[in-house]
């Protein structure tokens, strides 16, 4: 078996073990970094952006006009958020994000990219047959809903502003954050009622 045929997860594990054995990385520090991206930096930041847009129409307009600047207002700066374009899902238009070249993704807002996002099948098929891929992922959209696929790149990353679900009108910004998922901000899911 050649190195190209070894699954990336096994290669990463072998690399981590080698670097640890040679004293070049501390596994505890590496676990802390992963934990940060999975739990602190991750989808919670994006959810806070979406909840603010839902509860503050002026911020929502700024977010759609200049996603990078609006996100920066909330303090989410850093790698992967240098240029973020935000698109809004509506009852007639559904946006979904893919990176056809690799797996460009706004880590600062969404945390670590899920394995399916990096999968070559997702990257290729979402562009060609988005309705089918979304249905396979559990999101069935009516035929009259237009699906727009956005290709992330190292220059531009995309964030989907999901539709606010009915029945959330009286919920506070903090309460809304708990409803918002990473998958909805990528566009492969909708947010259900509370």
102 vs 125: CA distance, rounded Å: 14
Q: Which one of the listed residues 83, 99, 121, 172 is annotated catalytic?
A: 99
Active site residue 103: yes
Of the candidates 100, 70, 103, 107, the one whose C-alpha atom is nearest the C-alpha of residue 85 is 70
As a whole number, mean pLDDT of residues 152-163 equals: 94
Q: Is residue 193 part of a domain?
A: no
Q: Tell me: the pLDDT tens digits for 109-150?
A: 998 889 999 999 999 999 999 999 999 999 999 999 999 999
Q: Which one of the listed residues 102, 115, 154, 172 is annotated catalytic?
A: 102
Higher pLDDT, 26 or 140: 140
Per residue, the 3-state secondary structure of 125-168, as one string, reads HHHHCHHHHHHHCCCCCCCCCEEEEEECCCCCEEEEECCCCCCC
Q: Is residue 2 part of a domain?
A: no
If one counts the domains in the chain, the total is: 2
pLDDT of amino acid 170:
96
Q: Is residue 192 part of a domain?
A: no
Q: Which one of the listed residues 9, 83, 104, 154 is annotated catalytic?
A: 104
Q: Are 161 and 180 in contact (CB under 8 A)?
A: no
The answer to whether residues 63 and 81 belong to one domain is: yes
The answer to whether residues 33 and 45 belong to one domain is: no
Is residue 103 a known part of a binding site? Answer: yes
Higher pLDDT, 43 or 79: 43
pLDDT at 179 over 70: yes
pLDDT of amino acid 2:
63
Active site residue 99: yes
Q: Tell me: the pLDDT tens digits for 91-112?
A: 999 999 999 988 788 888 998 8
Q: Is residue 141 part of a domain?
A: yes
Q: Is residue 132 part of a domain?
A: yes
The answer to whether residues 31 and 107 belong to one domain is: no
Q: Is the pTM higher than 0.85? A: no
Is residue 102 a known part of a binding site? Answer: yes
Active site residue 83: no
Burial of 66 (0-12, 13-18, 19+ CB in 10 A): middle
Active site residue 104: yes
pLDDT of amino acid 21:
87
The answer to whether residues 14 and 103 belong to one domain is: no
Q: Which one of the listed residues 9, 83, 103, 153 is annotated catalytic?
A: 103
With a CB cutoff of 8 Å and minimum separation 6, the contacts of 44 are 111, 177
pLDDT at 186 over 90: yes
| Owning domain of residue 33 | 7-37
Q: Is residue 14 part of a domain?
A: yes
The answer to whether residues 71 and 120 belong to one domain is: yes
pLDDT at 1 over 60: no
């Amino acid at each position: 078996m050649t190195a190209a045929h070894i699954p990336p997860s096994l290669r990463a594990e072998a690399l981590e073990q080698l670097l640890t054995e040679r004293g070049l990385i501390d596994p505890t520090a590496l676990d802390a970094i992963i934990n940060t991206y999975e739990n602190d930096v991750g989808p919670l930041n994006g959810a806070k952006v979406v909840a603010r847009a839902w509860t503050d129409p002026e911020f929502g307009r700024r977010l759609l006009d200049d996603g990078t600047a609006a996100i920066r207002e909330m303090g989410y700066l850093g790698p992967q958020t240098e240029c973020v374009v935000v698109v809004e899902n509506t009852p007639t238009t559904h946006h979904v994000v893919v990176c056809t070249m690799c797996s460009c993704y706004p880590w600062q807002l969404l945390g670590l990219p899920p394995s399916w996002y990096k999968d070559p099948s997702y990257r290729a098929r979402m562009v060609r047959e988005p309705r089918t891929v979304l249905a396979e992922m559990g999101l069935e959209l009516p035929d009259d809903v237009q699906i727009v696929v956005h290709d992330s790149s190292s220059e531009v990353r995309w964030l989907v502003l999901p539709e606010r679900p009915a029945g959330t009108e009286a919920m506070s910004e903090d309460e809304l954050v708990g409803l918002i998922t990473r998958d909805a901000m990528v566009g492969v899911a909708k947010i259900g009622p509370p």
